[in-house]
Structures are given as C-alpha cells and as structure tokens.
C-alpha cells in the first residue's frame, strides 16, 4: 500500500460522514494506533509503547546510539480531515520502509513515533504524549488532573479498553533522540499561493490557552426585566469580541474562542454560567502574553459593568519554537534535491515538534494543503505532493544520519 492508500484506509476509522472524529483513547483512535503498529511490524520495524500511549516503531541500524526520530499524531479534531497528523506518521513509516529497502547502511536507528493526543479534542490540553515524553508535562501527576468533558480522567481513559495497545511491549525508559524531523501538511494557503511543493518551517507559533468562567444569575427568561439581569452569555459575548479585538490590536497574532459551555443552555432560562476557552498564538511570545493581558483587562471591565464575576485561568502555555538551524539546513538541502526553491515559512498550527524542540535539535517540512483547508473534512493534499513529502523526508533522515555525530 502506498501512502495515499494507507491514509484512505485510516480515514475510515472514526469517519462520521462529515469528517473524522478520532479523539484520544476512543475506539477509532485505538484502531488507528493498532493499524499503525501492525503495518510497522509487517514492515520489519520493532514496535514499542510508553506509559502515556506514544507508539514507537524502530528501524534498527548501526550503533546502539540515540535514534533520529520522526513522527506526528493519529488523533483528530472533531470533524477533522484525513491528513493532519496521520500523514506525518504514515509518511514516516513509508520513509523508513524506503530507507530499509534502499539497503544503505545506517549509522544509528531511525524511529517513527505516533504521539498520543496532539489535538485538544478530548482533553483540554494539546500535545499530551509528546510533552510527557519531553518531560514538559509531569506524568503520572497530569493523568489524574486532567479530565474530558464527561469527567473521565486521562489516567482512567489510558487504563480503559481504548488506552494502551494490547500485545505491544511497554517500555519506561525511552531516551531522548539525537534529533527530530516532523513532516506535516501545511494546513494553510502559503505554499499553494507561492506555487511551492515543499516548505521548510522556520518556527512554530507559541500558544496560550485560557479558561474563562463567567458567573451570572440564571432565571426565568419571561419574567426577569432586562434591567434586572446578570446574563452570563451576554458577558461572554463581550469577551469573545474582546479576544478578536486583542489579536487585531496586538498584530501578527491570532486569537480564537472555539469552545463555549453555556449553563443551563435552555431557551427559556437566562444563562447563569458560561465557561469558554481562548486560544491565542504568535511566533512572538510577547504578543501572545499581551493578548492574555488584554483579555484579563477586558474581563475585569466587563465583570464590573455587568455584575458578572469573571475568572481567567491560564491552562496551557507553549513557547514559540524556532527550528534548529543545522536541522533546518539539512531539511532544506533534502528538499532542494526535489524542488529548486522550497519555501521557508512559519507554522501557525501547533505540532508535537514544539515539545521535541525543547529537548533536541528539531526541524519540520510541509507539503501544500489544497485551498489551505484543515481541521475540516475538506482537508486534502494531492497524492503526488504526499509522495514528494515522503521522498524529501526519507532524504532528510538519511542526510541527518550521515551528518550528525553519534554522541549528542
């Protein structure tokens, strides 16, 4: 099976008719990890998992030295596409298969990793597996602390039937790799606009996620006069607009409210409580910090005017991740073997590479997303671009193996 066929096969897991729902530790996500592990074993790779559900497939080669890793994630957002994450994992598997088939001696092992839970589609934190691996998130403590919208904790979901893979060796002591290279679809329009087929990432935008809780007063929608209300959703609406304004005012940044929980959420009741989440990003961390300050100031002002206490809590902070200069050059030279002018571009989307970049030299390469669509069912990359991405990734891995010292 080629990369396109494998991605089409994975896309059936969690398909809803309007995109893919493959949230971490659910049956379709388990099935995707299982299929990846089976394909990797059939390809002769050695497959293991760690205690948070990351799956490692290793091509043994050369010295018993830290591997060069590649990878991405198999979970999706709600109604997501077939390429975000899955391409990096399946493309990595294919790259390793081609390197093995090419027969060139490796100086060290190469590894492709399916990182657990990159999308915050089930638990409110993203990059769960890669941040635990990089020891940026304390595990096991975090396992009991974070819960999904139904109150099930990460630890319980991991222990459940869709958690760790049956029959795959569990290992505690995964060493840091020598370097990390992630292949991903761009998820935006820049490569397509520049008519470029390969992109080399300069830096990944930093992120802050805020949880905002607005406490109003629930009551009868027919009897409470307009001047006697403390409507939590009206206050929340002002927060949503303040978030949009903050990103415009701060500039070179984006900010979104994509999740709201309204209680009691009934037509004939004045909303008594709203919780919403803010996602703010920029490659300049100071701009993201400024957006947080703006949201906090707006919250205090709206609370005072409307009589609705507003609490703002920082729930996730990921620093912007500039890519490693040497690894970037290796990836660029690999891309130049296939296209004359790969585009250098930043990533507005978050990636597991942000966590790996905190501990080892890291680089990323992109292939175009048709129409720039991503996180929606329409997400697509042309089969010939998928193929090119795999070739460039295989060339980058081989070059990194050749160039990087065996000792870090």
The alpha carbon of residue 380 and the mean position of all alpha carbons in its chain are separated, in whole angstroms, by: 17
- The CB-of-375 to ligand GLV minimum distance in angstroms stands at 7
- Which residues would be at the binding site for ligand GLV (CB under 6 A)? 119, 126, 349-350
Q: With respect to ligand GLV, which residue has the nearer C-beta, 164 or 349?
A: 349
> Which one of residues 14, 53, 67, 85 is an interface residue with Mn ion (CB under 5 A)?
85
186 binds Mn ion per the rule CB under 5 A: no
- The CB-of-354 to Mn ion minimum distance in angstroms stands at 11
- The CB-of-130 to Mn ion minimum distance in angstroms stands at 11
Distances in whole angstroms, Cα of residue 167 to Cα of each of 9, 38, 53, 396:
22, 11, 13, 32
Long-range contacts of 400-406 (CB under 8 A, 24+ apart): 400/68, 400/178, 400/179, 400/181, 400/327, 400/330, 401/61, 401/62, 401/68, 401/106, 401/107, 401/108, 401/110, 402/107, 403/330, 404/68, 404/178, 404/179, 404/361, 406/63, 406/65, 406/107, 406/108, 406/178
Distances in whole angstroms, Cα of residue 377 to Cα of each of 225, 279, 381:
44, 21, 12
Q: Which of the ranges 82-90, 264-272, 318-326, 381-389 carries the binding residues for Mn ion, by CB under 5 A? A: 82-90
The helix (run of H) or strand (run of E) holding residue 46 is strand 46-49
Q: Which of the ranges 83-91, 106-114, 242-250, 265-273 carries the binding residues for Mn ion, by CB under 5 A? A: 83-91
Classify burial at 153, counting beta carbons within 10 Å of its beta carbon; exposed 0-12, middle 13-18, buried 19 or more: middle
Q: With respect to Mn ion, which residue has the nearer C-beta, 85 or 342?
A: 85
Q: What DSSP line would sit under 222-268, residue for residue?
A: TTS-GGG-B-HHHHHHHHHHHHHHHHHHH-S-EEEEEEEEEES--TT
Q: With respect to Mn ion, which residue has the nearer C-beta, 95 or 354?
A: 354
Q: CB under 8 Å to 41, separation ≥6 — which residues?
A: 47, 57
- The CB-of-13 to ligand GLV minimum distance in angstroms stands at 18
- The CB-of-82 to ligand GLV minimum distance in angstroms stands at 14
Q: What DSSP line would sit under 258-301, residue for residue?
A: EEEEEES--TTEE--EEEEEEEEEESSHHHHHHHHHHHHHHHHH
**Whose CB is nearest to Mn ion?**
85
Q: With respect to Mn ion, which residue has the nearer C-beta, 109 or 126?
A: 126
Within residues 277-316, the interface with Mn ion by CB under 5 A covers: none
Number of residues located near Mn ion, criterion CB under 5 A = 2
Q: Which of the ranges 18-26, 41-49, 84-92, 393-401 carries the binding residues for Mn ion, by CB under 5 A? A: 84-92
Distances in whole angstroms, Cα of residue 237 to Cα of each of 210, 280, 312:
16, 17, 15
Q: With respect to ligand GLV, which residue has the nearer C-beta, 115 or 154?
A: 115
- The CB-of-14 to ligand GLV minimum distance in angstroms stands at 16
- The CB-of-151 to Mn ion minimum distance in angstroms stands at 24
Q: With respect to ligand GLV, which residue has the nearer C-beta, 53 or 350?
A: 350
- The CB-of-41 to Mn ion minimum distance in angstroms stands at 24
Q: With respect to ligand GLV, which residue has the nearer C-beta, 77 or 168?
A: 77
Q: Which two tokens stand for residue 61?
A: 């080669």
Q: CB under 8 Å to 64, separation ≥6 — which residues?
A: 109
84 binds Mn ion per the rule CB under 5 A: yes
- The CB-of-225 to ligand GLV minimum distance in angstroms stands at 42
163 contacts which partner out of ligand GLV, Mn ion, none, CB within 5 to 8 A by kind?
none
Q: With respect to Mn ion, which residue has the nearer C-beta, 71 or 85?
A: 85
182 binds Mn ion per the rule CB under 5 A: no
126 contacts which partner out of Mn ion, ligand GLV, none, CB within 5 to 8 A by kind?
ligand GLV
- The CB-of-348 to ligand GLV minimum distance in angstroms stands at 8
350 contacts which partner out of Mn ion, ligand GLV, none, CB within 5 to 8 A by kind?
ligand GLV
75 contacts which partner out of ligand GLV, Mn ion, none, CB within 5 to 8 A by kind?
none
The helix (run of H) or strand (run of E) holding residue 92 is helix 86-102
Sign of CA dihedral 331, 336, 339, 344: positive
For the chain, the straight-line distance linking the first and the last C-alpha, in angstroms and rounded, comes to 36
Q: With respect to ligand GLV, which residue has the nearer C-beta, 379 or 391?
A: 379
Sign of CA dihedral 134, 40, 27, 373: positive
| Chain residues in the site for Mn ion (CB under 5 A) | 84-85
């Amino acid at each position: 099976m080629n990369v396109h066929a494998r991605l089409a096969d994975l896309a059936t897991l969690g398909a809803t008719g309007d995109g893919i729902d493959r949230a971490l530790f659910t049956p379709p996500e388990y099935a995707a990890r299982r299929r990846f592990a089976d394909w990797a074993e059939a390809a002769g790779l050695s497959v293991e998992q760690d205690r948070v559900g990351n799956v490692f497939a290793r091509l043994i080669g050369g010295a018993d030295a830290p591997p060069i890793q590649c990878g991405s994630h198999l979970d999706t957002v709600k109604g997501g596409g077939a390429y975000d994450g899955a391409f990096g994992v399946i493309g990595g598997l294919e790259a390793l298969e081609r390197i093995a088939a090419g027969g060139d001696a490796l100086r060290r092992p190469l590894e492709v990793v399916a990182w657990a839970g990159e999308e915050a589609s089930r638990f409110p934190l993203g990059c769960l597996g890669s941040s635990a691996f990089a020891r940026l998130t304390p595990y096991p403590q975090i396992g009991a602390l974070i819960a999904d919208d139904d109150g099930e904790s990460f630890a319980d979901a991991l222990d459940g039937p869709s958690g760790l893979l049956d029959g795959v060796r569990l290992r505690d002591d995964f060493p840091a790799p020598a370097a990390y290279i992630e292949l991903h679809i761009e998820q935006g329009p820049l490569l397509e606009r520049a008519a470029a087929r390969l992109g080399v990432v300069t830096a990944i935008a930093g992120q802050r996620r805020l949880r905002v809780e607005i406490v109003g007063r629930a009551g009868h929608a027919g009897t409470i006069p307009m001047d006697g209300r403390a409507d939590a959703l009206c206050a929340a609406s002002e927060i949503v607009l303040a978030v949009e304004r903050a990103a415009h005012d701060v500039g070179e940044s984006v900010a979104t409210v994509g999740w709201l929980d309204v209680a009691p959420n009934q037509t004939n009741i004045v909303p008594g409580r709203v919780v919403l989440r803010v996602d703010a990003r920029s490659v300049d961390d100071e701009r993201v910090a400024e957006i947080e300050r703006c949201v906090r100031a707006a919250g205090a002002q709206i609370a005072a005017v409307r009589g609705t206490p507003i609490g703002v809590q920082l729930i996730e902070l990921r620093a912007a991740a500039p890519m490693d200069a040497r690894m970037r050059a290796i990836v660029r030279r690999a891309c130049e073997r296939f296209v004359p002018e790969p585009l250098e571009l930043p990533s507005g989307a978050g990636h597991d590479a942000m966590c790996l970049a905190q501990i080892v030299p890291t680089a990323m390469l992109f292939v175009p997303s048709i129409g720039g669509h991503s996180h929606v069912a329409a997400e697509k990359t042309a089969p010939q671009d998928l193929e090119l991405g795999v070739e460039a990734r295989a060339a980058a891995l081989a070059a990194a193996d050749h160039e990087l010292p065996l000792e870090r």
